[in-house]
Structure 1
């Protein structure tokens, strides 16, 4: 304990010196996402100004600043390689740059070097619209050069791999104008070039395509259906073009986020305003609901700060004549401590053979918590009095292994509860139930209901007569429990047993093959074998004694004196 305390004091002093006098250097590297495990990121020997021998002697190791170790350091070569394939979109979402922080720890003397690895985007996502079809209602006689903002396609990639251009199918009424924003994003506007005439063409169908800048390029499409309406000369108007609101994560369902309201100077149906989402992502549609009649924006899903810290959405106000105005709503999410540990099952073996040896791995899983500090530190337990035990491994992985032999005939399945608890205050807990079935092995032979059988058969019987039956039970299942019966070779009065009796291999019924004579055979014994269909098959045997019952089928015979008067010796 004293040595450990001294080591901690030394590390604290070293870290303090690093922070105060800038003794520690920072190295910046980059790696494309989706690289396979083992791919080289960089060699740090040159940056550390040391050779491989010194690096190994100083027990260099790489420590991740996040809950998951994405890279690994070879202390003998200085190579930093990818440990697990990285998905930039799931790791950083739309945040840019996407940087993973690690530290190289050197001992004797203790040094820390900060490693920043920027994850570069690759074009692995296609542009996608929130819907396959969009409806626009445009009045006839609408002046040319009027613009209609179109749905923006979402692309999880960044930079040149994000949406770079939009195209429109050829038509005589509209052209497409692609607008660029300061953040590099683009959106398309439909520009009317030729006046619409409802009587000539009441509906127009167009195909809008979003193209990214990757190699090869990826494309997403949506259909735009334009209904041409009667004339309406006043657009709806919002009192402000942008609304900024704050919302706590985990806000209850139906929580009011904000309310937007537009006015229209027209009358009747042309002044009736309906509100719609415009140019929003699938996440917005999943988490928020817009009341199309009164413009209230409410919560319909679970708001998670760790998933996204803000949401930007456009809202379209459309009057009864089909004219529209737009405003932007920016919802900023406020963070709370709300994440329980997460149990991720990597693999599970089910069914598990009942003859599995101790320490057989049943399941492999990991426990993570996206919170920080004690709230992100976890412990994992399982139930007692089960033939399984948990073994922790590296990087918060656990193995569930057998600790004693299994017996399917006693327990054919187990529901094992895994409990993970963090050290936050209050502590948060997660559980997972692993369902493990025990598969059968052929470890039980068939067992006859009796240790021996006695049966009777009257002489002069009809061939094929049922004498009786035997029955054996096998505690195994399926093919291992399927029993067939057979007679073992034997003799009756110097003749084979099979010439006197037969057995049905499936039912165990015994039949007389021929008519018997008590004066020749009073009883005989046969042996029946029961064999299951397992591999290898198991069997058992049982003796059967068959008694022949006498009938009065012989008349008396007078031996002396003989009726013909002769001597019996003549």
Structure 2
């Protein structure tokens, strides 16, 4: 049993008891033990420490001072009851007093001042130092639960603190802002006032202590090295140490990451941050490399920002010059002046551009043949430009030269082959084999493309060159390019062809002057003369041709209401030979048109109707009349007559069947009416519906518009008999001028079947006839039988007469036949 402080006035018999009493508080009563005869007093022994005692006579257990948890957390005592002689009656019983801790001790830092070092760009949240404080109160209670915080930050140049502290462990680390902004060049020392509170900082009554933390900022160890330069094709044993990086933290793992995708990355890094090149590099394969170095902690998290490493591969002279072409071919005209630039020898070097390793020099090693001299050419040492040395080349001396050009750099040399072709100059003109090719006669209807003459000229210049190739042209006599001349490139033979259709009436004779030239210009000292000209005459014979119309077809648009005998178009044709032309029509199936045979004027012969045919097509035949006035050649052209619509058709109703209303009429019934018009409407056709203004119609019917083409007809009351009514409806269109029509619409009022359709009462048709009806029917039947019998009798009489006449005729015929015999 544990007795709390609030129950100190409780008393009871002697027994084992436990008490829990807060520390401090001074003198107080704890408990009163009651005695049982023969006991008259009590005795307390044990860990009284001068603070705990009992009143012998009354058995009151009390404190005569303050308990201290930090000095002693538990007191073990024994209580006995005694008789008058001092002998033990009961006991001893164990009495234990547990001292309850109260928060009476402030926390204390283990150092009055702390110092620490942080590196620039250190990882945010990564501790670089720690402060520590202790509290003498009970660690199992909130009294000793400590919380750390930064009270002040000197200086504090930013809106956020550059440092942060773990409230539980006291570890200090850079904040995100600090990781970014800490820079020893700007501020290398900071003072933090760090506080520690007990009671877990949850109450204002907690004790607080503080300490100064002096932090020195140093430059980051994590820096990218300067650009690393490695000479290509190194003969060192690889891998070779080329640089080193160091993280701001210890125990990290280093790794490389490619910036660009490569078949292989020829670099590596070890656990100390040393970067190696793993194999010899080739500048001509790749002259620069960029990659990243990263660091990770044991959890695989990035520690530092990735560092970009740049490597430049330095060139050595390890590539010889290369001729850009296996054979450089240069053409030079034989009249080219001495000193002229005739071409260029091109070579390349894969070593680094604009360095001595790639500087090239050119020199002519040999010239074959060496006539008329061995030094006919000169090459510019630094550019490879090839010049004629001093004199012009002569094709008669040599038509080709082979040169060996030596190309060198600082360590290598290469031979480039050059071939120089000497081109003959155009100093010979073409000469015709004939100065006059006489004449040729062709019909004017000869096919375009027909060859009418072959011509030939020769040229003494080098064959198969622009100096010897011949171009033939008609220089005079053909202003309209009726003729064309094509050249055989192998023989220089010319073929004069018909280029355009001939026309005897326009040009019966052509006097042609033909010249022969070269595509290559002649040298200045030579000119074309009469030897390069020839004459040729073409006679064109006449061929009778059909008349030709001035137009391929005639398109005319007229209104459909033009009067008869209106002139609609005049067609015109002419005969190339000058004969007279007569005109006629074909295909005028509707007989709408007529034509003046002499003038070609076409008139309307009857009224036109667009509704019958909107586009009317006929053919006009033009016939030439020869001197004997007999038609010979003919030609045709089409005349398309497009008819413009006029409003000449009144509107009409479109109905599948006459409307009807079921009897008796109850009201609200409607019949659907639709109007249409055969005329053409440029916009949507619009009709108006109305009823004839008479009393009967006005009292019985009404009409209402639905839209431009539809309306409803409705009865105005229900007092209609079963019969057919004639309802006059007026329909009017929107033409110019408008037309209207009155339609006498038959409207039935009838009994309807279950499906709302009119039906005929058939009851009488199925009833038995009356007596009078039966007698009438009998008399009718007898009359019909009598007529049939009479007809048969008359037919038999007629047949007998015919047979008798036939026999008489046969007898007469036999008698006549016997007489002839």
Name the TM tier (shorter chain).
Answer: 0.3 to 0.5
TM-score, normalised with respect to structure 2: 0.32
TM-score, normalised with respect to structure 1: 0.44
Greater relative contact order (Cα < 8 A, sep 6+): 1
Larger radius of gyration: 2
